[in-house]
Chains A and B, each alone.
Chain A
Amino acid sequence: MAKKTLTYEFVKGIWRENAVIKMLLGMCPALAVTNSASNGLAMGLASTFVVAASGLMVSLIRRIVPGGVRIPTYIIIIATFVTLAELFLKAYLPDISKSLGPYIPLIIVNCMIMGRAEFFASKHPVTPAVVDALGTGIGFTWVLVVLGAIREVLGSGSIFGFAFLGEKIFTPWVVMVLPAGAFLSLGLMIGVINYFTLRKRRAA
């Protein structure tokens, strides 16, 4: 494998190998908590913290852990950071903790995090591992924020809790804050992105 720069490792997670829109990983939180932009942001940041911290740990211990118990060890590490994040939110940001509900503990089963640990952090030194994890996390976060913003604008007529569309000029589409709206908007988002990517490729 050719040596790749740190910039490359960082940038690839944001667009080219984006967890949600390109690899379709981490669908559960992406669909479940994005009923508002701020929820998407909180979930994105919590996941970024977990993926970066577990990337760091996994990379540190990659030579010590025997291959046979590799996966259980990763899971323990990921679960630890998820629990830390959950307790932190519960103590200092109770509102966000309440609106995200059970989806914070469920970060543990986010394939994106396990994927980065297994496919990248366990095979690379600390710096690239953390950089890759941060890139992935930020890529995850922006998609969640955009999705949350789309759904919040259409579903509640507000953005980041700031209502800029009055009830009189715009009747909110309730469907957008329901699960159906999550599937619709994520599907259309990926569809539009793919359509333009393919068209560009065909033109090139």
Chain B
Amino acid sequence: MKKNSPLKMIITLSVTAIIIGGLLSGFYKLVYPQIEANRIAEEKIAIFTVLPEAKDYDIVEYEILSKKKGTEIVQIFRGKDENGDLMGFAFVAAGPGFQGIIKMMVGLNLEKTYLEGMTVLDHMETPGLGDKITFDFFLDQFKELRISPSITYIKNVKPKHDNQIQTITGATISAVAIVKTLNKKIAIILELLAGPPGKLKVVAEPAAVAVPAAVAVPAAAVAVPAEGKGK
């Protein structure tokens, strides 16, 4: 066969693709449980950070209609205390910041009157300025922050009301973006919680990854064994 005949080219590419495809899917199967465990551990740490008194949680899913994407699934994490009683709600809020999307985990108390806490999961804000949204002095302001009628912000001075936070000098836009995102999302969550109950999501491996809430680094996830054959 000639070296550059079309048939040979097709065969070469197909064989390469098949071998590689097999190789990759095998490797993916191998590492997937670990990746999933990392994700769940991170979610867990975030939920226990924003609901400090929670010891366990379950996930309820709601289907809502959004203008852009059609139907969208919203997850609400229901925090339970040591007796297994409901003690609060946690949910993810995401919205545009100064440069990219800011993704947060937000905790709400059982009476739905104030926030239990807030932590930033993901952001692309300017290092040294906008990334102060992940610092404790900023996040602590969201503890026991009243949400009615809405969260407000103030610049340069200490907050005057119990539904108010102080923005960050030099990164006003990031802080204001967070407030806007939160207000929007809280309204949706309140509506969902007031409406018909959602579908309980069955979690594949309940509490297999026991991570103490105090550990604030996702590095703890590395300690989880890699085997996922049990499922």
In contact, A174 and B127 (Cβ under 8 angstroms):
yes
In contact, B219 and A65 (Cβ under 8 angstroms):
no
Residues of A within 8 A of B128 (CB): 155-156, 172, 174, 177
In contact, A77 and B20 (Cβ under 8 angstroms):
yes
In contact, A80 and B23 (Cβ under 8 angstroms):
yes
B218 nearest CB neighbor, chain A only: A94
Given contacts A91-B31, A94-B218, contact A80 B24 (CB under 8 A): yes
Kindly specify which of A14-22, A25-33, A81-89, A125-133 makes contact with the partner chain.
A81-89
Binary flags per residue of A71-102, CB closer than 8 Å to B gives 1, else 0: 01100110010011001101111110010000
B68 at the A interface (CB under 8 A): no
Residues of A within 8 A of B28 (CB): 87
In contact, A94 and B9 (Cβ under 8 angstroms):
no
Number of A positions contacting B (CB below 8 A): 29
In contact, B17 and A66 (Cβ under 8 angstroms):
no
Q: In the complex, A45 Cα to B77 Cα: how many Å?
A: 39
Q: Residue B13 contacts which of A72, A90, A174 (CB distance < 8 angstroms)?
A: A72
Q: In the complex, A92 Cα to B222 Cα: how many Å?
A: 6
The distance from the CB of B92 to the nearest CB of chain A, in whole angstroms, is 16
Q: In the complex, A184 Cα to B191 Cα: how many Å?
A: 50
In contact, A67 and B12 (Cβ under 8 angstroms):
no
Residues of B within 8 A of A35 (CB): 127
In contact, B38 and A68 (Cβ under 8 angstroms):
no
Q: How many A-B residue pairs have CB under 8 A?
A: 72
B47 at the A interface (CB under 8 A): no
The distance from the CB of B102 to the nearest CB of chain A, in whole angstroms, is 15
B135 at the A interface (CB under 8 A): no
Number of B positions contacting A (CB below 8 A): 29
B207 at the A interface (CB under 8 A): no
Q: In the complex, A172 Cα to B113 Cα: how many Å?
A: 41
Binary flags per residue of B98-122, CB closer than 8 Å to A gives 1, else 0: 0000000000000000000000000
Binary flags per residue of B10-44, CB closer than 8 Å to A gives 1, else 0: 00110011001001100110010011001000100
In contact, A77 and B16 (Cβ under 8 angstroms):
yes
In contact, A76 and B3 (Cβ under 8 angstroms):
no
In contact, A69 and B222 (Cβ under 8 angstroms):
no
In contact, A91 and B35 (Cβ under 8 angstroms):
yes
The distance from the CB of A20 to the nearest CB of chain B, in whole angstroms, is 23
In contact, B31 and A87 (Cβ under 8 angstroms):
yes
The distance from the CB of B228 to the nearest CB of chain A, in whole angstroms, is 11
B36 nearest CB neighbor, chain A only: A91
The distance from the CB of A59 to the nearest CB of chain B, in whole angstroms, is 15
The distance from the CB of B113 to the nearest CB of chain A, in whole angstroms, is 34
Q: In the complex, A108 Cα to B15 Cα: how many Å?
A: 21
Given contacts A84-B27, A177-B128, contact A66 B38 (CB under 8 A): no
Q: In the complex, A69 Cα to B12 Cα: how many Å?
A: 8
B215 at the A interface (CB under 8 A): no
B2 nearest CB neighbor, chain A only: A66
Residues of A within 8 A of B5 (CB): 66
Residues of A within 8 A of B38 (CB): 90-91, 94
Given contacts A66-B12, A67-B3, A90-B38, contact A178 B126 (CB under 8 A): yes
B38 nearest CB neighbor, chain A only: A94
Residues in B117-150 with C-beta less than 8 Å from chain A:
126-129
The distance from the CB of A171 to the nearest CB of chain B, in whole angstroms, is 10
Additional A-B contacts beyond A66-B12, A87-B31, A174-B129 (9; CB < 8 A): A72-B13, A77-B20, A87-B28, A87-B35, A88-B31, A92-B31, A92-B222, A94-B222, A177-B128
Q: Could you pull out 16 A-B pairs where Cβ atoms are within 8 angstroms?
A: A64-B12, A66-B9, A69-B13, A76-B13, A80-B20, A80-B24, A83-B24, A87-B27, A88-B31, A91-B35, A91-B38, A91-B226, A94-B38, A95-B217, A174-B126, A178-B127
Q: Which residues of B are in contact with A by a Cβ distance under 8 Å?
A: 3-5, 8-9, 12-13, 16-17, 20, 23-24, 27-28, 31, 34-35, 38, 42, 126-129, 217-219, 221-222, 226
